[in-house]
Structure 1
Amino acid sequence: MTDVLTLGDGHQGQWYELDCGGTLPQGNFGSTPLTGGPLWADLGKGDKPAAPAVDPGVLAVQAASRLELPKPVVRMSPVETARQVVGVPSWLWVESSLWKPVESSAEVPGVEVVATATPSSVTWELGDGTVPVVCRGPGTPYGPGSDPDGESPDCGHTFERASAGEPGAVFRVVVTAHWSVSWSGAGQGGTFPDLTSRSVLPVKVVEVQSLVVAGAGH
């Protein structure tokens, strides 16, 4: 953005150069970096203000590129830092404190556009070769009143094999949060393709052998 300039016809304004972080994940929707040529915001002639000649959709692209999405904080039961057990249901969830919309804005004199990213689902790739688990919300935390032998009501997985044969004897679990993106400003609005944020963690899965003790007389 330049200082306020005065043109030959007496109009005043500023030049804006978009720099939307094309090298960053947030700065690229599809394959086209979020950049563009200089934009002139006309402030009018002399002291008389005029509406800025800026397309709100262009500002929306800039606002969306500034969104800072939190990585999902992963939780499991049995606890993710210990071990999961073959054949025992694992509860999966992400911290609900981060499950809320994230906003960012871009503006020029007279026009402000707000981009909003709203979490919509979480995909769990468990690393054991099974189909990814897609959860339509953050998942239900395991609590004191939960059934230790029961499955999660909305987001869970049961490992069918141990991770002993994997590198480091762990499964590489990838948890991806999906965010729907919309924008509004200057009486207009629209949407952008979904964005994602991701966390990766090693999870050890073990097989526990049951010990059956015969009763007296057997």
Structure 2
Amino acid sequence: MSKPVTGVLTLGDGHQGQWYELDCGGTLPQGGFGSTPLTGGPLWTDFGEQKPTDQPLPVDPAVLAQQAVEKLELPAPAVRMSPSEKSPQVVGVPSWLWVDAASWAPVHSSVEVPGVEVQATAKPSSVTWDLGDGTDPVDCAGPGTPYGPGSEPDAASPDCGHTFSRPSAGEPGGAFQVVVTAHWSVAWSGAGRGGSFPDLTARSVVQVRVVEVQSLVVADGGR
């Protein structure tokens, strides 16, 4: 049999093990067994390489998160109005404002290095409409409600709309420059960590004509 002659040792290459020596008990001389000599030095038993249990990550996940955010490709808001943004709006008539669903969905990106993967996610949260007519911008908490077949023609949008009070005839090109800015909240996660970044924005600019419709009253001559 053998017995350890040292404690557990760690070698320079990270391997651990112990040195053992032969032990034939008290009835036989050490190093001999019958007529067969037991020769040689102590025996090394290798336990294998011991890796640290709390090994540091090869790179800070927050650094990868910044790279993932820079890779995000946010779509410009797809502007929709009723009356159609391609047709003149009418002074005094409520205009419905909304962003098409195609540009109102989360956007993801990721960055990976050996041992660490980080994902960034941007979610649209609100929209600011600068109608270009000198009034205060309209802030909408969501994409806005699309005008549908069942909507009342003269009703205002329930959550995102504007009523022009003057025509755009005197503006450059005869139209108001409407700037629509979508705001995106940004979060990241990976390697057991996570966090958020300042909001990002994406915008669209459209030219909108606004006309004034004069009503005409015709007397019937008493007929």
TM range (shorter): 0.7 to 0.9
Tell me if the contact between 1:52 and 1:108 (Cα under 8 Å) persists in the aligned partners: no
The match for 2:78 is 73
SS class of match (1:162)? coil
Question: Could you list the runs of 5+ residues in structure 2 that have no partner in the other structure?
Answer: 1-11, 14-48
The 2-side partners of 1:77 and 1:216 are apart by 38
Native 8 Å contact 2:65 2:118 kept in 1: yes
Cα distance in 2 between the residues matched to 1:77 and 1:211 = 24
What residue number does 1:105 align with? 110
Task: Tell me which amino acid in the other structure corresponds to 2:96.
Answer: W
Which of 27, 52, 58 does residue 53 from structure 1 map onto?
58
* 2:196 pairs with 1:191: yes
The answer to whether the aligner puts 1:158 opposite 2:185 as a matched pair is no
The structure with the larger Rg is: 2
Match of 1:96 in 2: 101
Q: Normalising to structure 2: TM-score of the pair?
A: 0.74
Partners of 2:76 and 2:204 within 8 A in 1:
yes
Q: Which runs of 5+ in 1 are unaligned?
A: 1-8, 11-45
- Alignment partners' CA distance in 2, 1:72 and 1:164: 26
Residue 222 of structure 2 corresponds to 217
Tell me by how many angstroms 1:123 deviates: 0.4
SS in 2 for 1:60: helix
Query: Partners of 1:96 and 1:61 in 2: how far apart?
Result: 27
Give 1:63's aligned residue: 68
- State the alpha-carbon separation in 1 of the partners of residues 203 and 120 from structure 2: 20
Alpha-carbon distance in structure 2 between the residues aligned to 1:214 and 1:94: 45
Whole-Å Cα distance in 1 between the matches of residues 150 and 107 of structure 2? 32
The 4+ residue runs of structure 1 with deviation greater than 4 A are 48-51
Residue 213 of structure 1: how far off its partner (Å): 2.1
TM-score in terms of structure 1 length = 0.76
Q: Distance in 1 between matches of 2:219 and 2:123?
A: 57
Aligned to 1:177: 182
> Quick check: 2:176–2:207 contact (8 Å CA) kept in 1?
yes
Contact 2:78–2:102 (Cα < 8 Å) also in 1: no
Counterpart of 1:97, as a letter, is A
Q: Of the candidates 133, 137, 140, which is equivalent to residue 128 of structure 1?
A: 133
Cα RMSD over matched residues? 2.0
**Cα distance, 1:82 vs structure 2:** 1.1
User: Are the equivalent residues in 1 in contact too, given 2:58–2:115 (CA < 8 A)?
Assistant: no
| Aligned counterpart for 1:143 among listed residues 148, 151, 154 | 148
CA offset at residue 69 of structure 1? 0.2
Residues in 2 aligned to 1:199 and 1:206: alpha-carbon distance in whole angstroms: 22
